[in-house]
């Protein structure tokens, strides 16, 4: 029986995925790694340091920076990113998300946040929806980032459910892999060709409704 939902934040609840991409694009330019759609998709959902490593590896620069220089690059990226998210307001919640949260709350599902972002509490606060969730995973306490299942296992734990009773919602390839490995039902938001590993697909948040999820063979009421 499904009793809870674990939400990714960036790219699912609000369109901050584009701000992450914008800031990483700058980093890629600074280190001389060519930007591409494949790189952009590979970065989605991935932790700050893992993202930097992927950018360096993609350009063949993994040996070119000391640990201290890598930390400075990551800090610079976060500074650039934080400048972009200062102006977020409740109007930046993606279409259909508030209605979806309403539906879930009325049906008494438990809700948690499984975001790798250390900026997640700030963003939820700016969007005015922090109090809608029963739990938020603290990414500082994690040993492994997405695609490792740890964050989604924790997202079930904090709402006191086994993963089999939780549906995870993600816009990232790494995130869908994490949900699947956690043993949860995966919902992908975005291009179904890109998120082909998801159990259930929606092209955007507008299409995301409880009714459509309940119609899926993966939904066990
Ligand atoms: C994820 C984003 O939610 O958080 C990634 O999808 C980001 O793009 C990751 O790298 C870590 O976020 P932050 O804000 O702690 O650098
Ligand atoms: Mg995301």
Q: Residue 176 in 3-state DSSP? A: helix
Give me the tens of pLDDT residue by residue for the chain, a chain 221 residues long.
Answer: 999 999 999 999 999 999 999 999 999 999 999 999 999 999 999 999 999 999 999 999 999 999 999 999 999 999 999 999 999 999 999 999 999 999 999 999 999 999 999 999 999 999 999 999 999 999 999 999 999 999 999 999 999 999 999 999 999 999 999 999 999 999 999 999 999 999 999 999 999 999 999 999 999 88
pLDDT reported for residue 221: 81
pLDDT reported for residue 134: 98
pLDDT reported for residue 119: 98
pLDDT reported for residue 216: 95
Residue 187 main-chain phi, psi, to 5 deg: -115, 125
Q: Which atom of ligand 1 is nearest to the CA of 118?
A: 15
Residues near 187 by beta carbon (within 8 Å), at least 6 away in sequence: 167, 168, 169, 170, 198, 199, 200, 201, 202, 208, 213
Mutate to test the pocket of ligand 1, among 17, 18, 20 (most ligand atoms within 8 A of CB): 20
CA proximity to 5, closest of 125, 108, 98, 138: 108
For the question of residue 102 being annotated catalytic, the response is no
CA proximity to 190, closest of 3, 37, 34: 37
Centre of ligand 1 to C-alpha 182, Å, is 20
Rounded-to-integer distance, Cα 93 and Cα 57, Å: 34
Tokens of 175: 């995130």
Rounded-to-integer distance, Cα 159 and Cα 103, Å: 18
Q: Who lines ligand 1 at CB under 6 A?
A: 9-10, 17, 20, 43-48, 51, 78, 115-119
CA Rg, the chain, in Å?
17
pLDDT reported for residue 100: 98
pLDDT reported for residue 87: 94
Rounded-to-integer distance, Cα 188 and Cα 204, Å: 9
Instruction: Give the burial string for 160-182 (b: 16+ CB within 10 Å, else e).
Output: ebebebbbbbbbbbbbbbbbbbb
How large is the greatest C-alpha to C-alpha distance in the chain, in angstroms? 53
Rounded to two decimals, the pTM is 0.96
Tokens of 220: 């066990």
For the question of residue 8 being annotated catalytic, the response is yes
ipTM for the predicted complex comes to: 0.98
Q: Residue 107 in 3-state DSSP? A: coil
pLDDT reported for residue 220: 83
């Amino acid at each position: 029986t499904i009793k809870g939902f674990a939400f990714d934040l960036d790219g699912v609840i609000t369109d901050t995925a584009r701000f992450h991409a914008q800031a990483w694009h700058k980093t890629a330019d600074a280190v001389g790694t060519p930007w591409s759609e494949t790189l952009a998709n590979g970065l989605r959902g991935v932790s700050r340091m893992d993202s930097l490593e992927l950018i360096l590896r993609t350009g063949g620069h993994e040996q070119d920076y000391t640990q201290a220089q890598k930390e400075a690059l990551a800090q610079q990226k976060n500074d650039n990113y934080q400048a972009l998210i200062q102006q977020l307001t409740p109007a930046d919640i993606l279409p259909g998300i508030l209605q979806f949260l309403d539906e879930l709350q009325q049906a008494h599902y438990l809700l948690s946040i499984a975001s790798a972002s250390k900026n997640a509490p700030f963003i939820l606060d700016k969007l005015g929806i922090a109090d809608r969730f029963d739990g938020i995973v603290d990414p500082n306490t994690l040993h492994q980032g997405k695609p490792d299942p740890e964050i989604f296992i924790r997202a079930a734990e904090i709402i006191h459910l086994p993963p089999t009773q939780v549906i995870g919602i993600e816009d990232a390839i790494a995130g869908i892999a994490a949900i699947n490995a956690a043993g949860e039902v995966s919902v992908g938001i975005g291009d179904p060709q890109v998120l082909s590993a998801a159990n259930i697909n929606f092209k955007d948040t507008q299409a995301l409704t409880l009714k459509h999820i309940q119609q899926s063979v993966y939904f066990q009421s």
